[in-house]
Homo-oligomer: A and B are copies of this chain.
Amino acid sequence: MVDGEFALIEQLQSKLGGGGGGGGGGGGKGVLLGIGDDAAWLDPAGQSLVTSMDTLVAGRHFFVDVDPADLGWKALAVNLSDLAAMGAQPRWCLLSLALPVRAEGYSQWLQAFVEGWRALAESADVALVGGDTVATDGPLTLSVTVLGVAEQGVMRRDAAHPGDLIWVTGTLGDAAAALDLAFMVRSMPGYDFACSAAQSETLEARRLRPDPRLDFGRAALAAGVACAMDCSDGFLADLSHIVKASGLRARVNLEHLPLSPALRDCIDQDLARLQRWPLTGGDDYELIFCAPPSLTPSLINIAHSCALPITAVGQMLPADPQATESVDIYWQEQLLALPDIRGHQHVF
């Protein structure tokens, strides 16, 4: 434990623990015994379990000077996005913080972190039930494990079929463009482009506080969607995972990728920027999902009720042993040479 932080950690527990902590037992949300024992004891109420774990390292997954409130939000959000892609209902999470020793301690830092985390945890109805806090001689490192429940199966990567339409929620590329802006602001080498202050703010908000598509994911599963994945490593890389797992090919129309007004202005019909941000940029935390055309009316209704636009961007095709690429990208009726697929650091 980082010295001198016990009192604050107890605050963190009481603020994020969802009521089941300490010796009280009971508590809401299926927490039979929360933080404070060797392990948490939880009640999935007969449902199956969905779980995922993501790790974020300062200097690699976020800037060292990040606002801890934004970091708290995002550390939880990237994990919840995995549950959204499965169509699961989030319930609990565990948080491991490896904190570099520093003279000023972490009191203020943790208060802000908790504030950002809690803002999302409350809306997603997820309770912190355990974790670990250690000191490190390296960069600040967070691992989050999220646990959800599923009543009726899950959406998976390997369940796409030929003829399925390929959909994405929301808009793509905002966070990747914001990352380029953030490099520029910090005078770090990167991709230079012009952007108004208002546009920059819009894009930056998308990078810092992604909104996991939990309601949409659950509703899509309930409506019969079998195949989904969250878009975190870049649309092309993630669609390629679906294509490979399902043993298919895909055709995508680059001009159909949904863009926010801010990003549309910044791209200004520049093909290189289209490829850099919405096609291969990461950190979108939107859902890519595949569904037969017969589901389209239901999906449009769901999108409307979630106030979340969805866009059909292409179609799944049967495998073709002659094809050199598993995903064909078309731009103005022309087949594009594929850019490198550069993703983030995820493996599992």
- Chain A residues within CB distance 8 Å of chain B: 1, 6, 9, 13, 23, 32-33, 35-44, 46, 48-57, 59-61, 81-83, 85-86, 88, 92, 94-96, 98, 129-139, 141, 143, 145-148, 150, 154, 156-158, 229-230, 245, 345-348
Residues of chain B within 8 A (CB-CB) of A158 are 23, 37
- Given A41-B50, A98-B141, A145-B145, the answer on whether A36 and B245 have CB atoms closer than 8 Å is yes
Residues of chain B within 8 A (CB-CB) of A129 are 51
Closest Cβ–Cβ distance, residue A128 to chain B (whole Å): 9
Residues of chain B within 8 A (CB-CB) of A82 are 38-39
| B53 adjacent to A131 (CB under 8 Å) | yes
| B143 adjacent to A55 (CB under 8 Å) | yes
C-alpha spacing A56/B134, complex, angstroms = 8
Residues of chain B within 8 A (CB-CB) of A54 are 96, 132
- Given A35-B348, A345-B135, the answer on whether A48 and B44 have CB atoms closer than 8 Å is yes
Those 10 A-B pairs whose CB atoms lie nearest each other, nearest first? A138-B138, A23-B158, A39-B52, A143-B143, A38-B85, A145-B145, A53-B94, A38-B82, A42-B49, A133-B347
21 inter-chain pairs at a CB distance below 8 angstroms, sorted by A residue, are A32-B48, A37-B158, A38-B86, A38-B157, A38-B230, A39-B82, A42-B51, A43-B49, A44-B44, A52-B94, A53-B132, A54-B132, A98-B141, A131-B348, A132-B143, A132-B345, A132-B348, A135-B345, A137-B138, A141-B141, A143-B143
| B345 adjacent to A156 (CB under 8 Å) | no
Give the secondary structure class of A's interface: strand
- Given A38-B157, A41-B86, the answer on whether A53 and B130 have CB atoms closer than 8 Å is yes
Residues of chain B within 8 A (CB-CB) of A50 are 39-42
